Amino acid sequence: MWNPIRQFIDRHDAFVVTSHINPDGDAIGSEMGLTHFLRQIGKKVVVMNSTETPEVLRFLAAEDEIRVYGEPGTQPLLDTVDACIIVDVNNWEQLGNIGRGLQARSLPRACIDHHQGYTAGFADYTVTDTSAAATGVLIYELIRAHEAKLTKEMAEALYAAVITDTGTFRFSNTDARALRVAADLVDAGVVPTEMHRKVFGSKSWGAGRLLGPVLSTLESDMGGKLAIFSATLEMVNNAGATYDDMDGFVDLVRAIKGVELVIFFKETEEGDIKVSLRSNGRVDAHAIAKQFGGGGHTMASGMRVPGPMPLAVDTVVSICRNLSSFPIL
C-alpha cells in the first residue's frame, strides 16, 4: 500500500504539508507526525493550512511552525517546495484557500486520509483507508513502512491524532489496530495522562461561561435518537469565548442515553451556519453531510448551510426525519 507514497517522497526534496480548514487533533497531529518523519529522512518541510491552529493544539508545533496561507511571507514559502502531501482531507472544498494556491502551482500531490467521499483527481498518489480510526494511524504505518525511528515528537503528535478521533478510545471506531498503535506510541515516550491534559484539559473560562447558554438550546427529535443544539454569535461574544472553546461540547450531548446522532449548529461571522454531526455508531453521519456538500466519515462529519439559525435547524432536521437520509447501520 505504501510503495507509491514512499517513491513519491523519495523523488522530492521539499514538501508543503497541509490539511483541512478548522484543523482538529487528527489533522494537526498527522501533519506534525509526518513533518518530523520527513525531516528525519532529510527532507525540507513547510507546514501550512488555510485556517489557524486551535490554541489547545499549538503545543504540538514550535511557535509559528504552522503557517496560515495568505499571511505575509507564505506565498514565497510555497515557491520553495516541489511537492505537497495532504492529510486528513480528500476534497478541495474542505482544504480551503491553500487548495487554490496548490492548484495554481500545479504541485505534485499525495493524499493520506481516512474519510469517505474521496474526490477523483484530488491527488496524484493516494492512500485512503476508511477503516483506520484516524489519519494518524496511517501516518504511523507509513513511518513503520519506511523503517524510520519513531521519536517522542512523532509519537506525541500521532497520539494526539488517535485520541482525538477515537474520543480517547471511547468511540465505536476504536479497534485493535488503533490500540496497538497507541501502545507503540506509549513505548516511544508518550505519557497518556499528560497528553489527555494537554489536548482535552486546557479549557478557558470563556468555555465555562459558554457551556450553559449553549446547552440550554438542547432539544431532542426522532424519539430521542436525534439531539440538536446550537450556538449563536451573541452567545459566544457574551461569554468572551471563541469557536475553539466549543470543542468537546458535542461529546457531552453524545453521552445521553438513547442518542444516536448529535447535530451542533454554530453561527459564523459570515452569516452561514457551521454544522457538526457526531454519531454513536449506528447512524451514518457522512450520508447526511454529503447531501449538503459536506464531508467526513461515518462517525463524524460536517458541512455549512445557509442561515439564519432557525432555517438551518429546520432544513437539516427535516432531512434527518426522512429515514432514507438517516440510515441505521
From first to last of its 329 residues, what are the pLDDT tens digits of the chain?
A: 899 999 999 999 999 999 999 899 999 999 999 999 999 999 999 999 999 999 889 999 988 899 999 999 898 998 899 999 999 999 998 899 999 888 888 899 999 999 988 888 899 999 999 999 999 999 999 999 999 999 999 999 999 999 999 999 988 899 999 999 999 999 999 999 999 999 987 788 999 999 999 999 999 999 999 999 999 999 999 999 988 889 889 989 999 999 999 999 999 998 899 999 999 888 989 889 988 988 888 888 999 999 999 999 999 999 888 755 565 65
Write down the pLDDT at residue 244: 83
CATH code assigned at 306: 3.10.310.30
68: cell is 496560515
CATH code assigned at 106: 3.90.1640.10
**pTM over the 0.85 mark:** yes
Write down the pLDDT at residue 324: 57
Residue where one domain finishes, among candidates 200, 219, 244: 200
Looking at the fold, whether 144 and 276 belong to one and the same domain comes out as no
Residue where one domain finishes, among candidates 200, 224, 240: 200
Looking at the fold, whether 191 and 221 belong to one and the same domain comes out as no
Placement of cell 504511523 in the chain: 140
Looking at the fold, whether 221 and 173 belong to one and the same domain comes out as no
Domain count, the chain: 2
Write down the pLDDT at residue 171: 86
Looking at the fold, whether 64 and 89 belong to one and the same domain comes out as yes
Cis peptide before 192 (omega within 30 of 0): no
CA gap 126, 136 in Å, rounded: 15
Looking at the fold, whether 182 and 86 belong to one and the same domain comes out as yes
Helix axes 152-165, 192-200, angle to 10 degrees: 60
Closest to 211 measured CA to CA, from 172, 175, 264 = 264
Looking at the fold, whether 273 and 129 belong to one and the same domain comes out as no
Domain hosting 303: range is 208-325
